[in-house]
Structure 1
Amino acid sequence: MMILEENFTLSNGVEIPKLGLGTWFIDDENAGQAVKDAVAIGYRHIDTAQAYGNEKGVGDGVRACGVKREDIFVTTKLAAEVKSYDAAVSSIDASLQKMGLDYADLMIIHSPQPWAKFGEEERFFEGNREAWRALEEAYKAGKLRAIGLSNFQRPDIDNILGSCSVTPMVNQILAHVSNTPKALIQYSKDKGMLVEAYSPVGHGELLKNQELAEMAKRIGVSVPRLCIRYTLQLDLLPLPKTANPDHMRDNADVDFVISEADMEQLKNMEQIKDYGEASVFPVYK
């Protein structure tokens, strides 16, 4: 599982492990154990968010995992509804307090729009600039080692770039086999951002894809491993979420190469139209 020892380097020189553990849907009381299990397997990158309601558990796990704090990369996210400077300042401090950490390695704005307004015309440009200013100040103060964005489209990125003193280092987006937003990925990279891929297994729905299952069988890997390797070969940073140690191990067992022909097939696979139970969440609609 060599991938657990490999890093990307962010635009400010900070190294970030190439595979992270996503913690969405892991409740607070189980998050600490999930973090400890992941670290024991070799993970050094944990991704949480204010909206997940498990920052305390994640922080407990980081402090209790037996590995030095500086060797664990912890990401959290500013709630999508925080669109003022003052609210952002207090939210950043609240996250650190909940996690019991002196600093976060990365903090990102979870969405350019509050979830209730996700996908609507209003882009909340001013509110995002205000939230970004608070992140910049926390970054300059040493509370955050890196800052970035999530679910930001090109106009939202341009809005931040037009007024920032620190440019975003990351854009975390929905990206997986059958849903690879090439233009947004390229634009984010062109602007100096590492692109992180959340739900690299399509929130589990790709497990039902027969074409994918046949390819995985032919290559001799599981469907999740194939999906995770796909994002890595696109130079994306996958964040598969699980509390199951067996799945954590499987997700990290990606020391193989997908051929160019298979990559083309994966890029052009028919897009998921239904994310099952997750379809109620704005990012999957």
Structure 2
Amino acid sequence: MSQEDRGVRTIQLYNQVELPVLGLGTFKARGTALKAIVSCALSCGIRHIDTAGVYKNESEIADALEASGVPREDIFITSKIGPTQQGTGKALLACEEVLQRLRLEYVDLLLIHWPGVAKLEVKSTRNATKRLETWRVLESFYKSGRCRAIGVSNYEQQHLQELLDSAAVKPMVNQIEVHPRYPQRELREFCKQHSIAVVAYASLGCGDLLSHSTVQRAAQECDRTPAQVLLRWGLQQECAVIPKTIHQEYLEQYTAAQLLTWELSSSQLQALDAMDDAHKYCWNPAVVR
């Protein structure tokens, strides 16, 4: 039975794996608060949990998963190999450690978190060498069944093209910053042309966009919250979204019932699209060679 059959809306990756369009981001979340919000997300029907090695919270997520009672096959887990873990030897160890910390036999999606390597100059050609070595490790994990899909995060078009030119298994996902002020239309179109699904992070502009007049106007018109407007905008761009929170009252705004049962109108979409001023809230991977 697919995720879609179980009532979870998904994006089908090119290898037929179903990626839930609604997820929970866990950046900066730790401890009891993290366990509680993961448990709440699962009880609310959210089935995608996004983490990373650098978040240092995979073991706590494992505790929540085990306590949830939700069958493993119904949960989609994403983790990432960080900048300090690039290169063949380090990446091999990092992939093994992801499974150990999550206490899983497989992870659903494994990403290269960043195109650069820690402590290397951003213009060094060794970045390209190391990230390709890392990709080869991810390919081997994928082929062995220890991850169901592989991809990248924060890859610009030049990084993706380089990978497409050399990959035995092309990336299935690119997780990138996407919101009305930074919609990344060209990059998303490139991903679409190459059957690479886009997962959007920072959908709320790190909270800054919640008070934007255009967002608030759309929220009032729709009788929705500003966060719901921004996430709905992302969904209507054909992205999956992974808002992060440790607060149950916010999480309850991010469920299927709250986000998948309505749409922004064409005029509302146009108004939100007009917010595009290329403003980035997070790190800039374009500087990495």
Match of 1:219 in 2: 222
Report if aligned partners of 1:176, 1:227 keep a CA contact under 8 Å in 2: yes
Amino acid at match of 2:123: E
SS of residue paired to 1:46: strand
Whole-Å Cα distance in 2 between the matches of residues 249 and 204 of structure 1? 17
Work out whether 1:8 is the aligned partner of 2:11.
yes
Q: How many angstroms apart in 1 are the aligned matches of 2:143 and 2:59?
A: 24
CA distance in 2 between counterparts of 1:209 and 1:117 reads 38
More divergent stretch after superposition (125-134 vs 252-261):
252-261
Q: Classify the secondary structure of the residue corresponding to 2:245.
A: coil
Could you tell me how far 1:274 is from its partner in structure 2?
7.9
Correspondence for 2:204: 201
Structure 1 unmatched ranges of 5 or more: none
Alignment of 1:144 onto 2:147:
yes
- Structure 1 position 6, deviation (Å): 0.8
What CA distance in whole angstroms lies between the structure 1 residues aligned with 2:120 and 2:214?
35
Aligned sequence identity (%): 31
Moved more, 24-33 or 157-166: 24-33
Maintained 8 Å contact 1:112/1:152: yes
Q: Distance in 1 between matches of 2:118 and 2:216?
A: 33
Distance of aligned partners of 1:116 and 1:225 in 2 relative to their CA distance in 1, 3 Å threshold: farther
Which segments of structure 1 move beyond 3 Å, counting only runs of 4 or more?
Answer: 114-118, 120-123, 270-275
Q: What are the residue-to-residue correspondences of 1:61-72 with 2, within 5 Å?
A: 61-72=64-75
Question: Letter of the aligned partner of 2:60 in structure 1?
Answer: G
Q: Is the 8 A contact 1:51 1:79 kept in 2?
A: yes
* Aligned residue in 1 for 2:37: 34
Is the Cα contact below 8 Å between 1:4 and 1:19 reproduced in 2? no
CA, structure 1 residues 187+117, in 2 after alignment: closer, same or farther (shift >3 Å)? Answer: farther
Contact 1:30 1:57 in 2 (8 A): no
- The reply to whether residue 245 of structure 1 matches residue 251 of structure 2 is no
CA pair 6-226 structure 1, distance change in 2 beyond 3 A: same
The offset of 1:92, in angstroms, is 0.3
Counterpart selection for 2:268 from 262, 265, 269: 262
Instruction: Report what 2:133 is aligned to.
Output: 130
Shift of 1:273: 5.0
Q: Which of 11, 22, 25 is the matching residue for 1:22?
A: 25
Describe how 1:64-103 pairs up with structure 2 within 5 A.
64-103=67-106
Equivalent in 162, 170, 175 of residue 165 of structure 2? 162
| Helix, strand or coil at the partner of 2:35 | helix
Q: TM-score under structure 2 normalisation? A: 0.90
User: How far did residue 34 of structure 1 move?
Assistant: 1.6
Match of residue 121 from structure 1: 123
Once residues 126 and 114 of structure 1 are traced to their aligned partners in structure 2, the CA distance between those partners, rounded to angstroms, is 10
Secondary structure of 1:207's match?
helix
Partner of 1:191: 194
2:151–2:174 CA contact under 8 A, matched in 1: yes
Deviations 1:200-236 (A, max 9, x none): 1111111121221122112211000000000100100
Paired residues, number: 279
Return the TM-score normalized by structure 1: 0.91
Q: C-alpha separation between the residues in 2 aligned to 1:87 and 1:94? A: 10
For 2:80, what is the secondary structure of its paired residue?
strand
Q: What is residue 50 of structure 2 aligned with on the other side?
A: 47
